[in-house]
Structures are given as C-alpha cells and as structure tokens.
Structure 1
Amino acid sequence: MRSRVGAVAAMCLLLVATATSCSSSGNPAGSPGPSRSVVLWDPQAGRPSPTAAADGPFDAAAATLRVKRLGYTADDEPGALKNLRGPFRAIHGTCTGSVDGRCVSVFFFQGNDYVGYDTAGTAESTIVKQDGKTVTISYPVFTTSDPMCCPSGGKREIRAAFKDGKVAFTPPLPANPNGPNT
C-alpha cells in the first residue's frame, strides 16, 4: 500500500513538472520560448487560468511570471498591466540582467493565453498603443554607421493582431526590425 501511494505521488509530481516546464527546446539561446499558444496558470491555485471569457479580467501577475520564465523582465508592474483592454494584449519586456537595456521583446496574450512574441532580443522597441484588438509597436531604425545611442533611419511601425490562432504582423515583421533592410 505504501509503495502504491508513493508511485501515485511520484506520478503527480511528474505531471506537474511536465505541465509547468518552460523549456524552449528548438529555440536559439535567448529566444523567449515557443510562439505557440500556451495556457497561463495561477501558481497559487495550481490550475489553468479561465480563458472562456477572453476579454474578461487579465491575470497580469501570471502574465508577468510567464515573461519572467522566458528570461525577460516586464517593463510594467502587474498593477499597471491588469487594466489593459483585451482580449489581445501586449507586455514589453527587457532581457533579465541586461546592463544597457538593448535587449527587448514584446509578448502577446490572447485573453490569459500566451500566444507569442515579436522577435527575440531586439535592440529597441516601444509599444505605441494597444486597444484590445491591435498592438502598434515602433522600432527605431539604425543604419550601418549609427552608434547605439542614435538611430538615424527613422522609425518602423508594425501592427500586431491575433488572427487564425496566431499573431499576425502588418506589414510583415522583418528578421531585424531595427535594421535598415526591410
């Protein structure tokens, strides 16, 4: 009887470890993880966040925890993020431990589900606006001779929306949105 209880407990621990793993296998070092939809969970409750009402309350604490697990620090506190209109929301984050802040990403959530990011470790970006359906991101454009302080190539604005189960960018997001080539 005791070994059976131990086996059941071990199986439960294995299932919990598997469900909460933040492995990003297949992604290059520093990538913020898979861009497929992953359900956020509330660590206090131990169960998935409710996603039936996609435009309901945003679990900003769970979202910032997800961003942290991807190796980034959210630029805003959960208290400021909880009032974002939804269902489509974005959180701007800086690579945790970055000394110059030149490593950022934008993380997207549909309801309380993490659904992807713009690009891993971009030099600079800013969320210009978000209205619950679309997120507008601005990227300063650096020419090949620009120092890191001073982009001279203008700005590139990209709109993101959640369409057909994925984040779609208009115009298409270039590999290096801070680079001179589109």
Structure 2
Amino acid sequence: MPLAALAALLTGGGPVAAAASPAASSTAPGPVATASPTTASPTGGLSVAQAIAVVRASGYTPTDTTGYDPDRTLSVILGMLATSVDGHPQRAFLFHDGRYVATDAAVPSATVSWIWSTDDTVALQYQLYRPEDPMCCPTAGAATVRFSWNGAAAAPRDTLPPTGWNAPASRR
C-alpha cells in the first residue's frame, strides 16, 4: 500500500481518501515529541504505534521515536532503511499535528539524529563526510538543520548539506 494511502487510512480519511490521495512529497516535513504508544491524540493525531506503521510502510525501521508527539505542531520519527546491513541510509519522517507530511529530504542521509524540538520546530543533526571517508567514520563534523512549520508545510530554516560523495562535507 502506498505511504499516502496508509497515512489517509490511519488519519481517518478512509479508503476513498486513501485512493484519492496523491503520493506524499519526499521533501516536505511535519510534527514533534512523545505520546501514548496505543491511543490516538486528543487532537486526532496518530498514536505512536500508528505513526510507526507509517514509517514501516515506507520501507524504514523506526530507530528513534522520542521526537514524536501528536499534540505538537511539528514532530519527527527517525528511521533506517529496513534492508540495511550497516545502519545506512536514514530518514526523518515529519508529522504535523500527528499526521505524516513528508521526509526531511528527497534523498536519504547516511546518519541523522534528533537533537531537540519546540512546539513548531524540530532540530536534526547530520553527520558529514569528506570524499575519502568510509561510511563508518565521518570526519567533516556535523550540521544542525532546523525544520519549522510555516502554516502550510514543514520547511528547513537552515541549509541542508549536499549528498554528493565528492562534496567537501556531505551527508551522503
């Protein structure tokens, strides 16, 4: 089942809304914090278990749910590609008011972690690689990128590092 269809079903849109839903953008972001693992939010957002199902449906295994809270304007769940044998690639799945809206970037990153959140902002940290770095050992530092809800979408407030292997500092 496509991710957008699963999200529509889990948010109460039903099979008709799920069938009519366009595919979710892979570059737009969403919500933040912690919730009950089995019950939906009083505001109608996905429970942690339902949000985890959205991540799993996209082919990723959730690795960190501490940044998810369906009652926050913007929150996040981190995931690793389910077929990964080395822990890469990783993605941040963004939620607005407990509803999936997008991933942090069109292209996954080697390593991403949740740093902090406020009601409408999520801060993620990306490990950076030099061209000669092996995947195990990034040496170009880290970049923090804040995503905020702008009233219509989750948008990066800082520049997202490039993914090219030849970039001087890449998130790969």
- In the superposition, the TM-score normalised over structure 2's length comes to 0.68
CA distance 1:81–1:115, change in 2 (3 Å): same
Counterparts of 2:99 and 2:45 in 1: how far apart (Å)? 12
Two-structure CA RMSD over aligned residues (Å)? 3.4
> Is residue 71 from structure 1 mapped to residue 70 from structure 2 by the alignment?
no
Deviation of the 1:122 alpha carbon? 1.0
1:105 aligns with one of 83, 86, 91: 91
Counting matched residue pairs gives: 145
CA distance 1:85–1:177, change in 2 (3 Å): farther
Q: What is the match of residue 158 of structure 2? A: 171
CA distance 1:137–1:88, change in 2 (3 Å): same
The structure number with the bigger radius of gyration is 1
> Is residue 60 from structure 1 mapped to residue 48 from structure 2 by the alignment?
yes
Q: What is the match of residue 180 of structure 1? A: 168
**Within-5 A mapping of 1:12-161:** 16=15, 19=18, 24=23, 33-35=24-26, 53=43, 59-76=47-64, 86-119=72-105, 120-161=107-148
Specify the SS of the correspondent of 1:74: strand
Deviation of the 1:92 alpha carbon? 0.5
Counterparts of 1:174 and 1:82 in 2: how far apart (Å)? 23
Letter in 2 for 1:66: V
Deviation of the 1:57 alpha carbon? 6.4
**1:81-110 Cα deviation digits (max 9, x unpaired):** 766761211000011121111110001101
How much identity, in percent, do the aligned residues show? Answer: 26
Specify the SS of the correspondent of 2:137: coil
Counterparts of 1:149 and 1:82 in 2: how far apart (Å)? 27
Q: Which runs of 5+ in 1 are unaligned?
A: 1-14, 25-32, 39-48
Counterparts of 1:83 and 1:50 in 2: how far apart (Å)? 9
CA contact (8 A) 2:93 2:100 kept: yes
CA distance 1:17–1:100, change in 2 (3 Å): farther
**1:57-79 Cα deviation digits (max 9, x unpaired):** 651111111111111111146xx
Counterparts of 1:84 and 1:50 in 2: how far apart (Å)? 6
Specify the SS of the correspondent of 2:163: coil
Deviation of the 1:116 alpha carbon? 1.0
Counterparts of 2:108 and 2:58 in 1: how far apart (Å)? 12
Counterparts of 1:141 and 1:100 in 2: how far apart (Å)? 17
